[in-house]
Structure 1
Amino acid sequence: MNKPPRKKNPTFGIAVFIVVAVLLVIATLFYNAIKEKHDFDAQNAAAPSISSDAAAAATAAKPASGAAQ
């Protein structure tokens, strides 16, 4: 009449641990990649290139074109 108590399945606990560990590793990789990209962008944005300054000067010196003339 009474069912015997169910034994715990240790495989399920190990599987959950492995899944959590893999997700933690993936999250760490994404975090490091995003952090490195922000550092790289901040380092390169501080020194504007000469070519972009020259392009901005050429655009400002160019006369208006189209219907505005």
Structure 2
Amino acid sequence: MNKPPRKKNPTLGIAVFIVVAVLLVIATLFYNAIKEKREFDSNNAPAVSISSGAAAATATSAATTAVKPASGTAQ
């Protein structure tokens, strides 16, 4: 009359554990890569000179000009 208790299948739990572990390893690799790249960039930043500052200002003004919508478009 009474059914015997159903045995739990541990396969699903192990599969979830493996997926979480792999995702954790991948996330750690990405975090370390980004952190080391920022550290490398901050240690090897080029010295800003007057000519490169002027070039940066010119590039910035060109970028803002390129963002303006064409005439006749809805604003």
Secondary structure of the corresponding residue to residue 6 of structure 1: coil
Deviation at 1:57, TM superposition (A): 6.3
Deviation at 1:56, TM superposition (A): 4.2
Structure 1 position 39 matched with structure 2 position 39: yes
Deviation at 1:24, TM superposition (A): 1.0
For structure 1, which runs of at least 5 residues remain unmatched after alignment?
A: 59-69
What CA deviation, in whole Å up to 9, does each residue of 1:7-47 have, x standing for no partner? 110111210111011011101111111111110111122x4
Aligned length: 56
| 1:1-40 equivalent positions in 2, closer than 5 A | 1-40=1-40
Query: For residues 42 and 55 of structure 1, do their structure 2 counterparts lie closer, same or farther at Cα, with a shift above 3 Å needed?
Result: closer
Deviation at 1:4, TM superposition (A): 2.2
The residue aligned with 1:48 is: 47
Q: Percent identity?
A: 78
TM (normalized to structure 2)?
Answer: 0.57
Query: For residues 57 and 10 of structure 1, do their structure 2 counterparts lie closer, same or farther at Cα, with a shift above 3 Å needed?
Result: closer
The residue aligned with 1:66 is: none
Write out the 4+ residue segments of structure 1 that deviate beyond 6 Å after TM superposition: none
Structure 1 vs Structure 2 CA RMSD: 2.5
Secondary structure of the corresponding residue to residue 4 of structure 2: coil
